[in-house]
Structure 1
Amino acid sequence: MIVVHHLNNSRSQRVLWLLEELGLEYEIVRYQRDPKTMLAPPELRAIHPLGKSPVITDDGVVVAESGAIVEYLVEKYGAGRLVPPAGTAERRRWTYFLHFAEGSAMAPLLMKLVFDRVETSPAPFFVKPIAKAIARKVKGSYIEPQIEAQLTYLENELATSPWFAGAEFSAADIQMSFPLEAAAARAGLDASRPKLTDFLRRIHARPAFQRAIERGGPYELLK
């Protein structure tokens, strides 16, 4: 039996969605973030030494990292579903976006989250102006231009095909959902980029996505 070690409001929501798309049976073990640090609880280290989510176990096999979990599940259980045929241009795009989601897209989004907190967190009065100035400088000179460039790139990619790997919905779209939901929640992705906002509308309307939300519980990134 596949067990998803599911952290609230995390990338593991994508794993639940993939399992629903594949029609697989699975169990959920739930973990809650520390309300102050927003980090995963130490209990996750009993499953994987880094104590992060997502992690799945499958008959004694432990698989961590979103992209690796997607590849594992599609290869073992997909029977050709949610992945283009090997050797095709669509398969190359599939592989690219499967890794782009975490390798490129999430980095500036995470940096923005960190520096937003630096800018707004309590600090001694003599430190706060300096911290805010540094945070604004880093965001304005590097982080926000990077996010803007990536969103423009992704908008243009979806102008050539309805899904990230081509004409058909695939696991690459599941993988790309998290950075785009994060961008919509806190990095300015809005109706000015109609292809990306339509992508989010279409994935949220999928029955498997909705079932995953029902099983996974509240998902704050959708707010």
Structure 2
Amino acid sequence: MLKIHHLGHAQSERIVWLCEELGVPYELRRYQRDSVTNLSPPELKELHPLGAAPLVEDDGLLLAESAAIVEYIIVKHGEGRLRLGPDHPDYAAYLYWFHFANGNLQPAMGRMLWMNQAGLAPEHPVRAAMRGRLERVLSFVEARLGEAACLAGREFTAADIMTVFSLSTMRLFLPLDLGPYPNIRAYLQRIGERPAYRRAMAKSDPDLTPLLT
């Protein structure tokens, strides 16, 4: 059986959610962040040199990186569900938004988090540039969700699973006011109505009320 190593309040929630959507059986092992550093515990470092989550074990294989894991599970265990193939009219949009999460959205949020932790003044030019970049990225997502119900188009796909963490749980570390983004807020409300998402969050982070507003 697939084994998911999940760090609390982390991107590894994507993997639990994916398995719930696909109905793929899994064993879940949960880890807590260090109370001082907020980083991964030593147990994860013993499994993988980078000491990060998610990690999955499957028949002797140990695989890291959430995007790689999502693709692996869809192909290996999910019969190709929740991804769009090359003959689908939204194939290119699916590819783009699947990779947008870790290619643009999450890095933009991560850079702002680092700016905050570094204590740079609000008017510092680097911090201002990073803030502007994040605002452009969020506005781009907002525009997309104004023209499509899901990121790839009409269908819910793994592109949505890859993206929601950044718009929700990541705000525990980088608080954001989503007031200026009504389409994003409506999208998160729709996601919150999905039974598989509710099950996944209850199992992976039972202490957390999902940040969907």
TM (norm. structure 1) is 0.87
Query: Once the 2 structures are TM-superposed, how far is the Cα of residue 113 of structure 1 from its aligned partner?
Result: 1.4
SS of structure 2 residue aligned to 1:88: coil
Contact 1:184 1:190 (8 Å CA) reproduced: no
SS of structure 2 residue aligned to 1:188: coil
Task: Structure 2: give runs of 5+ residues left out of the alignment.
Answer: none
SS of structure 2 residue aligned to 1:35: coil
Query: What letter corresponds to residue 129 of structure 2 in structure 1?
Result: Y
More helix by share: 1
1:137-158 CA deviation, whole Å, 9 max, x = no partner? 1464211101110111111111
1:33-76 CA deviation, whole Å, 9 max, x = no partner? 11111110121122222110011111111111111011001111
SS of structure 1 residue aligned to 2:149: coil
Contact 2:24 2:78 (8 Å CA) reproduced: no
More displaced, 153-162 or 7-16? 153-162
1:140 & 1:30 partners in 2: Cα distance? 34
1:168-219 CA deviation, whole Å, 9 max, x = no partner? 1011101010121157553534232111111111111110011011111223
User: Structure 1's 108 and 189: CA in aligned 2 closer, same or farther, altered over 3 A?
Assistant: same
Equivalent residue, structure 2, for 1:149: 136
Query: What letter corresponds to residue 71 of structure 2 in structure 1?
Result: E
> Structure 1 residue aligned with 2:151, among 159, 164, 176?
164
> Structure 1 residue aligned with 2:163, among 176, 179, 189?
176
Equivalent residue, structure 1, for 2:208: 219
Task: Structure 1: give runs of 5+ residues left out of the alignment.
Answer: 120-131
2:169 & 2:9 partners in 1: Cα distance? 11
1:115 & 1:141 partners in 2: Cα distance? 10
SS of structure 2 residue aligned to 1:37: coil
User: Structure 1's 16 and 136: CA in aligned 2 closer, same or farther, altered over 3 A?
Assistant: farther
Contact 1:163 1:169 (8 Å CA) reproduced: yes
Identity of aligned residues (%): 37
SS of structure 2 residue aligned to 1:63: strand
1:115-163 CA deviation, whole Å, 9 max, x = no partner? 22232xxxxxxxxxxxx43x65146421110111011111111122110
SS of structure 2 residue aligned to 1:27: strand
1:105 & 1:178 partners in 2: Cα distance? 10
Equivalent residue, structure 2, for 1:100: 100
Taking the TM superposition and a 5 Å limit, the aligned residue runs for 1:2-21 are: 2-21=2-21
- Does residue 83 of the first structure (1) align with residue 99 of the second (2)? no
Greater gyration radius:
1
